[in-house]
Structure 1
Amino acid sequence: MALPVVLLGLLGSGRRDVCGEFPLARIAAVRPVLLVDPDPPGWARPYLTGHLAADPAREEQTAEAVLRYAAGRAVGGVLTWSAEHLLPAARLAGRLGVPGLPYETAAVCADPVALRALLARHRVPVAGPADGEAAQGPPVSVEAVVLDDEVRIVALTRTTPGPAPARRPLRHCVHAHDGLLHNRFLRQCVERTVRALGLTHTVAHLTLRLTARGPRVLSVAPHPPGDLIPLLVERATGVDLAGAAAVLATGGLPDVTPTRQRAAAVQFAYPALTGRLTHLRLDPAAADDPAAERMVLTRRTGDPVTAAPHADLTDRLAHWVATGESAAECEAALRRMARHLTATVTPEPDRSAA
């Protein structure tokens, strides 16, 4: 039997989390999961073989709990999909003596200033906060699997950002035939970034901006991405990013051969006003669209919400996923499905003026 992977924290909490369930299910399909979390929600429990009640944000408490567990049972590796828990995961893997990200690499990836400095020393083009040209370029994310010295770019994620200043993602799209997959400058940039950081045996989510002078690196997350991107990659290419991450974390070599050549996209709905959500309805006819993968409400009436320019991820009202043969087909389907959602936000009185 495969040794369990220690998973630090979840993507969601409380009520059923539709973004976190998919990757958790994929991880559990390839490795037993020992979750470290104060109180896992009900939706997560069917996927777990064990649970340690500890807060990953309290690193020493978490390490003590896992080391006590490992004293009597073997564990195969440590995994997280959260930047917040990247450093504790790296340090814990080192203390357990299991495969994992070197702490120094995790520390650089978690610090944007240190990341830019290291990549600049290795002559990797980066996009800094004062880089006006890079700020104008469209973002693209590279979903890569690093198998020792081999860097496999399994997919590209095109993201449509929302309004400033928050600029939360409105849409992600993955197309197996994205033309950028054959761009040698992007591939060179990704490979040089991976080597500069010393990434090996990991799944990585690299965000770049495309400029007139070529791609520039914005950030590197050496763990599976969130926002249902693993679902889009699986629907478009057949590659299981979350499962691959679990296999790599326990020292194995996953099969990341593409088995599909399609496209998939997700759209997020944000409130137009700040206030209280007084109406939210999804017409069941949305499920009749042949391209519809899913359409899910993620808030409830009565919830306070913040308008898109200042919203965070918890303000999303709903999301819907479409699949098709091309990105254009997916975008058309997303527009059709959007017509099935109705929402009303009632502004609350400004008490500061009283």
Structure 2
Amino acid sequence: MPRLDESWGDAAEAGSSGQSNRPLLLLIGSGGQIWREYILKSVADSYDLWLFAPKEPGWESPYLRGNTIVETLDAHAAMESAVRLDKSVRIAGVLCYDEIRVPVAAMVAEALKLPGANVEGVRACRDKHLGREALAAAGVAQPASRAVASLQEAQEAARAIGYPVVLKPRALAASIGVVRADGPDSLESAYTEASEAYFDEIPRDKAWVLVEEYLDGPEVSVECVCHQGRVTPMFVARKSLGFAPHFEEIGHTVSADDPLLDDPAVRHVLQEAHTALGLDTLVTHTELRLTRTGPRLVEVNARLGGDLIPYVARLATGVDYGMVAASLAAGAEPDVTPVRSATAHVQFLYPEHDLDVTSLTVGEELPPGVHEVTPMVAPGRRLRLPPRDHVGGRYVYVVTTGDSPEECAEALRAATPLVHLTGTPVG
């Protein structure tokens, strides 16, 4: 199997404006190549794809029937362009897995009267404070949470909730700015970190920081199909977290027969949360903490999971989750029954300290159970560890498979010595 940063071949004719008998999906944003090319490859085998993006496509071109240059964070411009396109090339559905652009995608689907998520529900997923309010009103099990606009408000909220607390920006992603404060002495630095975290593309509300109850227990994510409001769990990914007191996700394990899929308490929380948010027809990535008092909701994301989680899940279950999302967007109710019963794991490797990469090599002979070992950076790249950078500190990912999480862990231990990184430490 080719690595995700290699060419996948000619899956579709780039920029073709000819007629086609295949349904056409409008793709709002394409994401990063290493993270999302596997989705485009599989979807382009069955659907024509038309990309909306603010610049001309590059690596995406082999999978596209065409593209439109449009500012995809401008909902009005995106809807106008979609309506014009639909008059000449009938759009069967709107597909988006880009965290920041899912609200615009929902608005475009609504404007075209196509299947999709409820717009207000998607906004509540993006704005964690709005989401918390909707979930609290419905009595969904979740942490206590307060939105604050100053250090003094954060201190008052932490005292009311009780330490430890978690501080996070209300509308970012990838664990950026998320940090635990175990007591008053660490609250100020935690608040500073959370309040200063930002994406250029996202405006910051005055009450930008959430102060939340810390939940004990392991964290998992559950990918779900929500079809006309009915939620079906597809797979569970068990997270490995690192760089405490931050919450960097350094690995994910998916087992096709994970018992949490049939856990009544997990299913109840999932359905309650989706109903409370008014989510209708979409694929979601929901994060839970398995606490001593039962599963409690961390957040719901109105998209497929990142970090190659759907890719790893496909190795474990045999189900193509990119195609699941595409079929759902096109109005079909996809079959998500596993056709394989295995376990797969993805692990991201980080250096011991910040450094400028001099060389990165990977041995060619992979041990049994190692599916791939893929470099993520080239010489000259600066790697900075959390909290100075999140995700950007990774230099290799390793995918392993087996009959159990233990077999995957054993294969990972055998694969790690194959990776050789050298660099100059950064002060």
Q: Is TM (by shorter chain) over 0.5?
A: yes
Tell me whether 37-46 or 208-217 shows the greater mean CA deviation: 37-46
Contact 2:384 2:392 in 1 (8 A): no
Contact 2:221 2:238 in 1 (8 A): yes
Query: Could you tell me which residue of structure 2 aligns to residue 315 of structure 1?
Result: 393
- Residue identity opposite 1:335 in structure 2: R
Change (3 A) 1:37 1:314: farther
CA positional deviation for 1:260: 0.7
Decide which of 30, 48, 52 is 1:10's aligned counterpart: 30
The answer on 1:146 being equivalent to 2:226 is yes
Contact 2:122 2:279 in 1 (8 A): no
How far apart in 2 are the matches of 1:154 and 1:328? 22
Provide, for residues 292-338 of structure 1, a one-character-per-residue CA deviation record: whole Å limited to 9, x for no partner.
Answer: 22111010111112024533223320101111111111111112111
Contact 2:288 2:295 in 1 (8 A): yes
Change (3 A) 1:55 1:335: farther
The answer on 1:104 being equivalent to 2:120 is yes
The answer on 1:283 being equivalent to 2:350 is no
Change (3 A) 1:168 1:117: same
How far apart in 1 are the matches of 2:39 and 2:136? 33
Decide which of 106, 110, 113 is 1:90's aligned counterpart: 106
Alignment of 1:113-192 (within 5 A): 113-128=129-144, 132=164, 134-192=214-272
The alignment partner of 1:18 has SS state of helix
Contact 1:165 1:309 in 2 (8 A): no
Query: Could you tell me which residue of structure 2 aligns to residue 20 of structure 1?
Result: 36
Query: Could you tell me which residue of structure 1 aligns to residue 53 of structure 2?
Result: 37
CA positional deviation for 1:27: 2.2
Query: Could you tell me which residue of structure 1 aligns to residue 306 of structure 2?
Result: 226
Contact 1:299 1:318 in 2 (8 A): yes
The answer on 1:75 being equivalent to 2:68 is no
CA positional deviation for 1:269: 1.1
Tell me whether 27-36 or 54-63 shows the greater mean CA deviation: 54-63
Query: Could you tell me which residue of structure 1 aligns to residue 16 of structure 2?
Result: none
Query: Could you tell me which residue of structure 2 aligns to residue 352 of structure 1?
Result: none
How far apart in 2 are the matches of 1:310 and 1:138? 25
Contact 1:274 1:345 in 2 (8 A): no
Change (3 A) 1:39 1:295: farther
The alignment partner of 2:45 has SS state of helix
The answer on 1:266 being equivalent to 2:362 is no
How far apart in 1 are the matches of 2:127 and 2:141? 17
Q: Which has the higher helix share?
A: 1
Query: Could you tell me which residue of structure 1 aligns to residue 373 of structure 2?
Result: 295
Tell me whether 194-203 or 58-67 shows the greater mean CA deviation: 58-67
- Residue identity opposite 2:370 in structure 1: A
CA positional deviation for 1:21: 0.8
Contact 1:276 1:305 in 2 (8 A): yes
Contact 2:375 2:395 in 1 (8 A): yes
- Cα RMSD for the two superposed structures: 1.9
Provide, for residues 115-139 of structure 1, a one-character-per-residue CA deviation record: whole Å limited to 9, x for no partner.
Answer: 1111111111112456646433211
Tell me whether 143-152 or 231-240 shows the greater mean CA deviation: 143-152
Contact 2:140 2:272 in 1 (8 A): yes
The alignment partner of 1:261 has SS state of coil
CA positional deviation for 1:144: 1.1
How far apart in 2 are the matches of 1:289 and 1:40? 40
- Residue identity opposite 2:288 in structure 1: L
The alignment partner of 1:135 has SS state of coil
Q: Which runs of 5+ in 1 are unaligned?
A: 350-354
CA positional deviation for 1:39: 3.4
CA positional deviation for 1:177: 2.0
Decide which of 314, 325, 332 is 2:410's aligned counterpart: 332
Contact 1:11 1:226 in 2 (8 A): no
The answer on 1:55 being equivalent to 2:95 is no
CA positional deviation for 1:8: 0.9
- What TM-score results when the alignment is normalised by the length of structure 2? 0.76
Contact 2:118 2:280 in 1 (8 A): no
How far apart in 2 are the matches of 1:66 and 1:206? 29
Tell me whether 35-44 or 190-199 shows the greater mean CA deviation: 35-44
How far apart in 1 are the matches of 2:299 and 2:240? 17
CA positional deviation for 1:268: 0.5
How far apart in 2 are the matches of 1:6 and 1:135? 39
Query: Could you tell me which residue of structure 2 aligns to residue 64 of structure 1?
Result: 80
Q: Which has the higher contact order (CA 8 A, sep 6+)?
A: 1
- Residue identity opposite 2:375 in structure 1: L
Provide, for residues 3-59 of structure 1, a one-character-per-residue CA deviation record: whole Å limited to 9, x for no partner.
Answer: 2111111221xxxx2221111222223321111123355432111111112231233
Provide, for residues 134-190 of structure 1, a one-character-per-residue CA deviation record: whole Å limited to 9, x for no partner.
Answer: 433211111111233532212100010120354321110001122322322111111
Aligned residue pairs, count: 343
How far apart in 2 are the matches of 1:40 and 1:232? 30
Change (3 A) 1:58 1:198: closer
